[in-house]
Amino acid sequence: MVSRSLPEAPRPYDLLPEVPAGDSLRPYDLRCEHLGTPLGVGAPVPRLSWRLASDRRGDAQEAYRIRVHARGALVWDSGWVEGQDVSADYGGAPLASFTRYTWRVETRPGEAAESWFETGVLHRDEWVAAWIGHDPETEPPFEPPTDDREPRSARTASLPAPRYFRRVLDLPPATAVRIACSARGLYELRVNGVRAGDGELTPGWTDYRHRVPYQVYDVTNLAGDGPVCVGAILADGWWSGSLGWDARQQAQRYGRRPQLLVQIVAEHENGSRTVVGTDGRWRESTGPLRYADLLMGEWYDARLEQPGWDLPGFGDTSWAPAGVVDTAHDVLVPSVAEPVRVTQDLVPVDVRRPGDGRTIVDLGQNIAGRVRLVLRGAPEGARVTLRHGEALDDDGGLYTANLRSAEATDHYVAAGAAVETFEPRFTVHGFRYVEVSGHADVEVLGRVLHSDTPVAGEFSCSDDMVRRLMGNIRWSQRGNFVSVPTDCPQRDERLGWTADAQVFLPTACYNADVAAFFTGWLADLRCAQTAEGAVPDVVPHVMTERHGTPGWGDAATVVPWHLYRVYGDERVLRDSLPSMRRWVDHVERHNPGLIWRDRTGSHYGDWLQAGVRTSREVMATAYFALSAELTSKAAAVVGDAAARAHYAELRSRIGEAFVRAFVSADGRVTGGTQTGYLLALAHGLVPAPLVPAAVGHLVADLEERGRRLTTGFAGVGLLGPVLSAHGHHDLAYSLLHDDRYPSWGYSIKRGATTIWERWDGWTEEGGFGPVAMNSFNHYALGSVGAWLYSGVAGIGQEEGSAGFRRPIIRPLPGGRLRWASAAYETPLGRLAGRWEVDGGTLRLDVRVPPGALATVHVPTTDPASVRESGTPLSGEAAGGALVCRVASGRYAFTAAWER
């Protein structure tokens, strides 16, 4: 039986927290490096930030003052800083390692709020811990008991047993105990019999060649007085387990065996510290975990448990000394993002027993995660098998063909107790259905796992299908943000495909605060860039031969620029500008004629487009232009005038080359596909006089196809924004509401609970799509989500605004919708809009955060009819709306709306 603490009552995951109410200005949601109250901060000059709330109209911060204390002493007082900044870089005395800094921000006018952060290891020479692992010299290799019913398939035969490590320490009485822990592999840390922290799949996945993250835990309460037992379980994970589609042996790109590193820092009453690290005095053994693999699953034999192994009194004489395998600390980096956590539990919606001993459980939702299994009355040695799948086949059995070589199967061998509980810890599956065999009296709970990025946005509307679409998008985001942004959570892939990440990023940012999550991923992108400047197709980089792909490599420019726009943190551009430049220079070097023809790497085109072939050169060159433009803009923000001018000039020459090569005098774009037009229009590559004609050709293509889309990954997110920007709201809504193939509604009509990888994941004619590539949980086609927020509900920010300083509220009443609403937690505070059409009246409720100056477009058929809280409003009539500017606060507009 795995002893794990019981899950807390499920918390509603998708809800935005309430903003503090009241008529005075209040800072709230204080953060350090974009995280709440982080332990183990490694930045020498961390950035502190806060949001603001006030119910008073026009409220804005005039000045702020930050004071930071450590060990009772003031270490930094910013003094009063005039202005509206809602972030500041720590400016006090150099930070000390493993120290709690309490900080307080006060605003004028307004109040004060307090928070804290703690540092980790700030100087490399402070590490004393060595990397330890199983030492094959000191112990004969583990021989599992022979049992011909052992659940070892050809694929799992090579999986070694995870190792258990322990050491008992006699620490002098301590006032605070912290543990910094990392693994090349996956670890679970335990202190005196209790798991430390609630992070899963720690330390997470990064480019281990360059960066291995460590986490810090506050274990003061677990350590108590007296001897402290520190234990850890160590498994292969991304380091040495199956990865991508390679068989395990080839997949081991980082190392053959996992390694563990633990450093304990105990602080005593008089301020002195005891620091102890992993070394050859630790002991190791195998245990009930017979194997654990992210793709294959886990095998746990409860008969092999060693009760008390993680407690001080345990007799470990039969355990072997651990081997010291490395003493280098140069790759250790502080963990910069929220960990993966279990964020929700799902009670099955259906349990069927077909009568052959199997139980088929339906969680009602496709997730990334695992199950908790409760067994009653299983005899000793009974083997229970859990298989996972995203769908059922025609006979009601589990459909697993699309998992390819991922077995996604867990095994539990019972100890024979009346009630036993099993929950795997070092694997994750993408599934909705679970098949349990080997014992009938079972209960299953679904456990949802993903990077616990805070919820940042809410969208809703009057249409069930559109609401479900946003629900599916959010679930695909949760299912694929598992330490890194992946393409899919179920099959033997689960890689950080760069195009998937960049096309989905705008949607991701609306749904969740992904600032910290993508900061780490970008660090991996930068260190994986080739000497030439090519960006790999997947980050972390694991497929050495694939890089330099149009639309994929451009994540190097699109991601930092978008993060800057959303979060207003210019450091991401400072860190990324060299990499952005190297990418653009690389493409230019290979394409001196400025049309991206050269196959510098792979080319996937408009991936998974429906029935058309967008010109690859059009797509590639449009991305080249975009990347040059974003690099120029980034250089401007960073203050590099020469680079700004250089890339602006390059962008304009690419634009000219694009027009010469691909845009004809009647506004046609080579290839004539929707994605071709969308890319050209969205990225300003059609000369202004030809824009109406180009839009006309795009619209004609859609109309000729009976208002059906043909877009793949590169084009799909642009449909809504481009059509609505050019006045074709009706067409945009037709696509949104469509449920014929290919459309979002098509999958929803078939019961999809996540976004499918392909438009034809399942069809009436063909049933399941090609098994070689048919994930039911892939977010790229869900990149329409950003338009639901910024188009349909209408909350966004102006071009040129960063960090939502200048928000726009420009709703788009139309389609089948009677109302739509969105709320978003900007860096300044809450921005929200809700419109509703009732009879001949449109009502628009708006909320603007303190310090922002918002442009509101009140949609109306009669600009003279517009009122705000009953008072007539003046403004400029434009594009079917009355446009006005409002400062912070809540506003209630009404306007005539005749359709």
Q: So which residues are the catalytic ones? A: 493, 757
Separation of alpha carbons 586 and 530, rounded Å: 10
Q: CB under 6 A: which stretch of 339-347, 493-501, 510-518, 581-589 binds ligand BGC? A: 493-501
Closest by Cα among 404, 389, 399 to 246:
404
Closest by Cα among 282, 280, 259 to 324:
280
- Which helix (H) or strand (E) segment holds residue 627: the answer is helix 616-638
Encoded tokens for 362: 């339906």
Q: CB under 6 A: which stretch of 184-192, 225-233, 486-494, 742-750 binds ligand BGC? A: 486-494
Indicate the pairing of strand 854-859 with strand 807-809: parallel
Report the residue number, 499 or 852, with the smaller CB distance to ligand BGC: 499
Encoded tokens for 740: 């014929």
Report the residue number, 434 or 752, with the smaller CB distance to ligand BGC: 752
Residue 738's alpha-carbon distances to 258, 555, 704, 747, 814, in angstroms, are 50, 30, 15, 11, 14
Compute the half-sphere exposure of residue 832: CA atoms within 13 Å on the CB side of its CA: 21
Separation of alpha carbons 284 and 142, rounded Å: 12
Binding mask 565-604 for ligand BGC (x = CB under 6 A): ---------------------------------------x
Report the residue number, 621 or 775, with the smaller CB distance to ligand BGC: 775
3-state secondary structure of 113: strand
Separation of alpha carbons 165 and 364, rounded Å: 39
Closest by Cα among 876, 897, 898, 891 to 834:
891
CB of 551 to ligand BGC, least distance (A): 9
According to CB under 6 A, which one of 493, 554, 569, 836 is a site residue for ligand BGC? 493
Report the residue number, 487 or 760, with the smaller CB distance to ligand BGC: 487
Binding mask 772-811 for ligand BGC (x = CB under 6 A): -x----x---------------------------------
DSSP secondary structure of 661-681: HHB-TTS-BTT--HHHHHHHH
Radius of gyration of the chain (CA): 28
Instruction: Determine contact, residues 131/324, Cβ cutoff 8 Å.
Output: yes
DSSP secondary structure of 162-217: PEEEEEEE-PPP-SEEEEEEEEESEEEEEETTEE-SS-BSTT----TTT-EEEEEE
Report the residue number, 88 or 555, with the smaller CB distance to ligand BGC: 555
Closest by Cα among 195, 557, 230 to 342:
195
Encoded tokens for 251: 């997949």
Q: CB under 6 A: which stretch of 21-29, 266-274, 471-479, 492-500 binds ligand BGC? A: 492-500
According to CB under 6 A, which one of 161, 219, 373, 499 is a site residue for ligand BGC? 499
Site size toward ligand BGC, by CB under 6 A: 10
Report the residue number, 309 or 607, with the smaller CB distance to ligand BGC: 607
Separation of alpha carbons 197 and 201, rounded Å: 12
- At position 242, the amino acid (one-letter code) is S
CB of 614 to ligand BGC, least distance (A): 14
Report the residue number, 177 or 488, with the smaller CB distance to ligand BGC: 488
Report the residue number, 499 or 822, with the smaller CB distance to ligand BGC: 499
| DSSP type of residue 536 | B
Encoded tokens for 308: 């008390």
Contact status: 500 vs ligand BGC (CB under 6 A): yes
CB of 546 to ligand BGC, least distance (A): 9
Q: By CB under 6 A, what part of segment 737-776 binds ligand BGC?
A: 773
According to CB under 6 A, which one of 607, 647, 835, 891 is a site residue for ligand BGC? 607
3-state secondary structure of 572: helix
According to CB under 6 A, which one of 345, 487, 569, 640 is a site residue for ligand BGC? 487
The footprint of ligand BGC (CB under 6 A) covers 487-488, 493, 497, 499-500, 604, 607, 773, 778
